[in-house]
Structure 1
Amino acid sequence: MKKLILSAAIILGGLSVQAAVSERKISTVNSFIFQDEYTEVASDAVPAAVKSTAEKSFPNTKLEKVYKNAKNEYKLEISNGDKKYTVFTDASGNIIKK
């Protein structure tokens, strides 16, 4: 009987050691993407330089939508068949990498 009680005490003691929670340091990184507010504009309001850049740089594509922000930068959504692309340019037609 003593052996049974001793065995039970050893097993329970071993389980309680494994059940101890080690302190973990959890770090949280808060990140966000800052995006300028773009508003949709009509394709007639797009400067000729921006249109020509889109036509020369991406032949055989269709200009779907055009957006403009306060910095006079344009966001062009173009498509070629079922593939869609987003291109950013300035008012002079220079492509901006974002």
Structure 2
Amino acid sequence: MKNLVLATVLSFAGFTAFASVQTPELNVDKATVITLGDFEEINVSDLPEAVTTAVSTNYPTAKVDKAYKNDKDQYKLELALEDGTKGTVYADAEGNWIDM
């Protein structure tokens, strides 16, 4: 009987140990700059004409969803095709594709 009481007490102690974990607060009032690696998000309208021309030439059915730029004037582009396929490509300021 003592073992049953002891097991019950220990099981309640184990449950209360997990219940005391606190989750961090989400601060929605602060502005956030999105940085991926060394890429920083920019407006799609800020892309150089050479990059937009390269996208329309090589991916005629693609739409640029998001664009990112790093300090080396390299661009990360998130593309969406008409069929719903999504992908990421990288280009330099002259519109040449690069591997990253």
Could you say which TM-score interval applies, normalised by the shorter chain? Answer: 0.5 to 0.7
Distance 2:62 2:46 in 1: 19
Match of 1:86 in 2: 88
Deviation at 1:36, TM superposition (A): 4.5
Match of 1:37 in 2: 38
TM normalised by structure 2 equals 0.60
2:71 aligned with 1:48, yes or no? no
What stretches of structure 2 of length at least 5 have no aligned partner?
1-35
2:73 partner SS: coil
Distance 1:92 1:46 in 2: 11
Paired residue type of 2:87: Y
2:94 partner SS: coil
Distance 1:43 1:76 in 2: 9
2:45 partner SS: helix
Tell which structure's C-alpha radius of gyration is larger.
1
Bigger Cα displacement from structure 2, 35-44 vs 64-73: 35-44
1:93 partner SS: coil
Match of 2:66 in 1: 65
Paired residue type of 1:83: T
2:84 aligned with 1:76, yes or no? no
What stretches of structure 1 of length at least 5 have no aligned partner?
1-34
Percent sequence identity is 36
Distance 2:45 2:87 in 1: 20
Distance 1:68 1:92 in 2: 13
Q: RMSD value over aligned CA atoms?
A: 1.3
